[in-house]
């Protein structure tokens, strides 16, 4: 029963990793665990001292939990979990997960204490690569900052400046930080041309074009914020990006 609960926690926990956990979204829930526990109890009661390992794995992997699964690779993952966890080695010294051995027989309090010894939750606990959590944490951060933006945007009367004034200050700051373009004439006279120098000069020309484009775009935004120029779709997109960081 303890191993069944551990298997259920793995199945539920993999959902947080998105498509890296399960290829599709499945509706696993606590009812699966409750019904599976009842089925397990009935099988053990009728087994006459012999544990039907294969039957239990089949019922859990193909019916109880497998009934939710539609992807073949996800079914293989579920079957691999069961093959590793539900077997005769449970009665010997083995690990349910890296650093977490099978608990000895005891009462409820004993098992609760044993659970406290579980290692920190990580992708390795689910048999995944350590980097599998990066996407999950990135999504969580995006959701968090999205909520913070909405809260900031809905706070009326608390901001010291409105959106236009804030954008005006930001654009002015960016304009002040933009360096002057390279003087290509001075550079060409003061250096000796080599293949490497020719490459650097080409990059300087490209950087000049980029600086001029950035400066012109910001100047147009200034005029648009002051009402002296119609705000185009391109300018509005740029201002929105600046407003959202």
Alpha-carbon distances, residue 87 vs 5, 46, 56, 80 (angstroms): 15, 18, 10, 12
**Residue 119 half-sphere exposure toward CB, CA atoms < 13 A:** 12
**pLDDT tens per residue across all 245 residues of the chain:** 778 888 888 888 888 887 778 888 888 888 888 888 888 888 888 777 788 888 888 888 888 888 888 888 888 888 888 888 888 877 777 777 777 777 777 788 888 887 787 777 777 777 787 787 787 888 888 888 888 877 765 554 444 357 788 888 888 888 888 888 888 888 888 777 788 888 888 898 999 999 999 999 888 888 888 888 888 888 888 888 887 76
As a residue count, the chain comes to: 245
Contact 229, 153 (CB under 8 A): no
Residue 96: count of CB within 10 angstroms of its CB = 19
Question: Rounded CA gap, 116 and 9, in Å?
Answer: 15
* 242 conformational bin, left if phi > 0, alpha if psi -120 to 50, beta if neither: alpha
pTM greater than 0.85 (yes/no): no
Beta bridge partners of 97: 100
């Amino acid at each position: 029963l303890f191993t069944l609960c551990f298997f259920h926690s793995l199945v539920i926990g993999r959902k947080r990793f998105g498509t890296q956990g399960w290829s599709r979204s499945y509706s696993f829930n606590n009812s699966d665990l409750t019904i599976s526990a009842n089925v397990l109890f009935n099988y053990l009661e009728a087994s006459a001292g012999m544990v039907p390992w294969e039957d239990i794995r089949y019922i859990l992997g193909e019916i109880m939990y497998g009934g939710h699964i539609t992807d073949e690779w996800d079914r293989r993952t579920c079957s691999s979990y069961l093959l590793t966890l539900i077997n005769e080695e449970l009665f010997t010294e083995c690990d349910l997960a890296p650093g977490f051995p099978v608990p000895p027989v005891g009462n409820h309090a004993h098992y609760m204490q044993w659970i406290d010894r579980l290692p920190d939750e990580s992708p390795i606990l689910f048999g995944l690569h350590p980097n599998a959590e990066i996407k999950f944490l990135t999504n969580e951060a995006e959701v968090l900052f999205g909520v913070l933006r909405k809260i900031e945007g809905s706070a009326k009367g608390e901001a010291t400046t409105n959106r236009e004034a804030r954008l005006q200050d930001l654009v002015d700051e960016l304009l002040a930080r933009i360096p002057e373009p390279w003087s290509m004439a001075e550079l060409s006279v003061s250096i000796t041309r080599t293949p490497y120098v020719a490459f650097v000069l080409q990059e300087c020309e490209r950087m000049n074009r980029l600086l001029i484009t950035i400066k012109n775009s910001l100047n147009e935004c200034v005029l648009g914020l002051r009402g002296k120029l119609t705000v185009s779709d391109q300018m509005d997109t740029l201002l929105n990006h600046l407003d959202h960081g």
